[in-house]
Structure 1
Amino acid sequence: MNIRGSICALATPYRQDGALDLDGYARLLDYQIAGGTEAVVVAGSTGEAHGLEHEEYETLLAFAVRHVARRVPVIAGTGEASTRKTVRLTRRARELGADAALVVTPYYVRPTQEGLRRHFLEVADQGGLPVIVYNVPARTGCDLLPETLAALRDHPSIVGVKEACADAGRIRDVAALARADFAFLSGDDGTAAAALEAGAAGVVSVVNNLVPRTFRALCDAGRGGDREALARHAAELAPLIAALNCAPNPIPVKAGLAELGLCGAGLRLPLIELAPGPARTRLREALGRLVPLATAA
C-alpha cells in the first residue's frame, strides 16, 4: 500500500432535505481527481463520520469506490471509541472495496498508551485492511505518543500515521519513525509545509477540498525537496488556511464548497452553517484569490 502525496479528507455533501447528496459527492470526487489529488478519505472527521447513519456510511463508501474506479486509493474512516466496533467497521469497509482504513484514536474514553497499543494491534490483526493510525488529540482527548507509535510500526498491516498534532517537536519525533513501509502523513494544513520539509510522505488535508491543484503543487515541492517552491505554495495557501480556522471543521470548508458550486453548505446538528459576516467574507476573498468562485457577482 503506497499512500503518499496530496490526500483529501473529503467533506460529505447533503441535499436541502438533509439526505446525502451523491451528485454533489461525484462532483467533489471528480474535482479532486482532476486536480491531482492522490488519495481520498471517505467518512473521516471532515466527512462528518459521526453524523452519518450506518446505512449512509455504507452508501457513501460504496459510491466513492464505484465512482473513483481505482483511479486513486479510497481510504475509509473506520475509527470508533470501541475496539470491537472499529474492527467490525473496518471489516465492512474492506467488503465495500476500501483500499485502507484511517483509524482515529478512541475518542472520549481516554485509554492509556498500552490500551492504544493493543487497540491498534487488534484492528490491524482482525480488520482486514491496511491501517493508517490517526492521532488528533484536539478532537479525541487522547494523544498517541511517538514511543507507542514506534511499537506499532512493525506490524505489517500498520502502514502509516496521520499525525495532526502541530507541535514542531512532535513533527520531528514522528518524522524520525518514518521508513519505506511506514508513512508519516501530516494531518494539519497549517504545518503541512514544515512536516513535508521534515520528511512527511504526504498530507491528509482539509483545504485540499477547495484547491486541489495548489495543494498538489505544495506536496510535490515538499517531496521533491524544492524548498523555494514549497515556501511559495505555502504562502499562497496561508490566507485560505487561516480563513478556514474561523470555525470548527468542517463548517468553513462546507461554506467554501458552496462558493465553488460543488455542493451545498449544509451540515448536521450540532454543527451549523457559517453565518454571514466578516469570517465568511474573509473566506470568500481568500478562496477567490486561488480559484474562480461559482457565486462571483
Structure 2
Amino acid sequence: MTTHPAAPPLGRTLCAMITPFTPSGTLDLDGAQHLARHLVANGCDGLVLSGTTGESPTTSDAEKSDLVRAVREAIGDRAKIVTGVGTPDTRHTAELAREAEKAGADGLLVVAPYYSRPPQEAIEAHFREIADAGGLPLMVYDVPARTGTRIAPETLLRLAEHPGIIAVKDCSQDFLGAQKVLSRTALAYYAGCDEHNLALYAVGGTGYVSTVANVIPNHLRAVLDAFDAGDTARAARLQQRATPLIEAVMSAGLPGTVTAKALMNALGLPAGPVRRPLQPADRGTAEALLSLHADLLGT
C-alpha cells in the first residue's frame, strides 16, 4: 500500500471552485454555499476560492471576503478553505491575506506577482512578506503561463525554509523541477493541471487543486483512493478515463472557467455567467462537454 500523509494540512482532494454569479453578474452567495456543500459531499476535502478558476481578477476585495465567509458558514469544518489573495502588488496582497484570515480561511493561495516580472530575489521577498503578514499558511501558486514569471525551483527550495510557506500548487509544466523540490523539502505539492493529478501523486505529491473537480469530484478522488489502496492499475485506468473530459475542459482553446461553467450550467449546478472580458461558451461546446461527461459517468 502506498503511503501519503493521512491528513495534509490543507487537504488532499481540493477543488479550484468556480465563483457562481447571478444572471445579472452579481456574486451568488447562495449558489456558492450550495456548490460548496455539493463538492464536499462528493469527495473534496478542500476548496480553493478566488483562484484562476474562481475569476479572481474580476472579483472585488469585498466579494473575495464575502465568499470565504459564506462558504465557511456552509461547510463548517468539514473541509479546508484556501483562498486566493495574489495580486501584482505586495502591499495589496498582504492586506488581502489579513482579510482572508478574518473571514475564516484556513490557508492562502498566492500567485507570483504578474505583469511586472520581478527577478527571483524579489519574488522570494514577496512571498516571505505575505507569509509574515498574518497567521495563515501559504500555498505558492506557480503558473508562469499566466504570470509571465516562473518561480524557479531554487527559489522554492529557499522559500521552503519559511515556516509559514507549506505548499505549492504546481502549474509549471516542469515535472523534473517539481520532483527536485519534492525530494529536498517537506512542501506539500499539489497538481494544478488535472493531467498531472496521478503522476505527481505517484512521485510523492500531496494531491491536487483541480478545476475539473467542479464536475467530477468523486471520480478524481477515486484515482487517488485507488493509488493509496495499492491498486495502481485501477488508478491509471480511472485517470485515463477522465482524460477526454480533462482535455475538453482545460485544453480546448477556452479558459477552464468558461468550459467548467458551461458544463455546470448544463448539469444544473450553480455557476451562472462568466465576467467580462471572458465570454460564455457556445451551445455546441456545452453540448460536447455534456456528452463527454455522460460518457465518463456511464449515463
TM-score w.r.t. the length of structure 1 is 0.93
Tell me which amino acid in the other structure corresponds to 2:282. A
Q: For each residue in 1:231-270, what CA deviation from the matched residue of structure 2 results, as whole angstroms up to 9, or x when unmatched?
A: 0110121111011122112100001111210124411100
Secondary structure in structure 2 of the residue aligned to 1:250: helix
Alpha-carbon shift at residue 119 of structure 1 (Å) = 0.7
Tell me which amino acid in the other structure corresponds to 1:187. G
> Where does residue 287 of structure 1 map in the other structure?
293
2:217 is equivalent to residue 217 of structure 1: no
2:164 is equivalent to residue 157 of structure 1: yes
Partners in 1 of 2:70 and 2:184 — Cα distance?
Answer: 35
2:193 is equivalent to residue 188 of structure 1: yes
Tell me which amino acid in the other structure corresponds to 1:283. L
2:130 is equivalent to residue 126 of structure 1: no
Is the Cα–Cα contact under 8 Å of residues 140 and 168 in structure 2 kept in the other structure?
yes
Tell me which amino acid in the other structure corresponds to 2:202. E
Alpha-carbon shift at residue 194 of structure 1 (Å) = 1.1
Alpha-carbon shift at residue 2 of structure 1 (Å) = 1.2
* Structure 2 residue ranges without an equivalent (≥5): 1-7
User: Which of residues 37, 44, 66 is equivalent to 1:37?
Assistant: 44
Alpha-carbon shift at residue 219 of structure 1 (Å) = 2.2
Partners in 1 of 2:173 and 2:83 — Cα distance?
Answer: 23
Q: For each residue in 1:22-71, what CA deviation from the matched residue of structure 2 results, as whole angstroms up to 9, or x when unmatched?
A: 22212211111111211001111110011112222221111111111111
Is the Cα–Cα contact under 8 Å of residues 140 and 169 in structure 2 kept in the other structure?
yes
Partners in 2 of 1:66 and 1:128 — Cα distance?
Answer: 20
User: Which of residues 233, 240, 244 is equivalent to 1:235?
Assistant: 240
Equivalenced residues, count: 290
Is the Cα–Cα contact under 8 Å of residues 108 and 140 in structure 1 kept in the other structure?
yes
Secondary structure in structure 1 of the residue aligned to 2:296: coil
Report the RMSD for the aligned CA atoms in angstroms: 1.6
Secondary structure in structure 2 of the residue aligned to 1:289: helix
Alpha-carbon shift at residue 127 of structure 1 (Å) = 2.9
* Structure 1 residue ranges without an equivalent (≥5): none
User: Which of residues 95, 98, 118 is equivalent to 1:91?
Assistant: 98
Partners in 2 of 1:37 and 1:45 — Cα distance?
Answer: 18
Partners in 2 of 1:83 and 1:74 — Cα distance?
Answer: 22
> Where does residue 145 of structure 1 map in the other structure?
152
Partners in 2 of 1:82 and 1:127 — Cα distance?
Answer: 17
Is the Cα–Cα contact under 8 Å of residues 83 and 109 in structure 2 kept in the other structure?
yes
User: Which of residues 20, 24, 29 is equivalent to 2:31?
Assistant: 24
> Where does residue 76 of structure 1 map in the other structure?
83
Partners in 2 of 1:101 and 1:259 — Cα distance?
Answer: 31
2:203 is equivalent to residue 198 of structure 1: yes
Report the identity percentage. 37
Is the Cα–Cα contact under 8 Å of residues 193 and 218 in structure 1 kept in the other structure?
yes
Alpha-carbon shift at residue 229 of structure 1 (Å) = 2.0
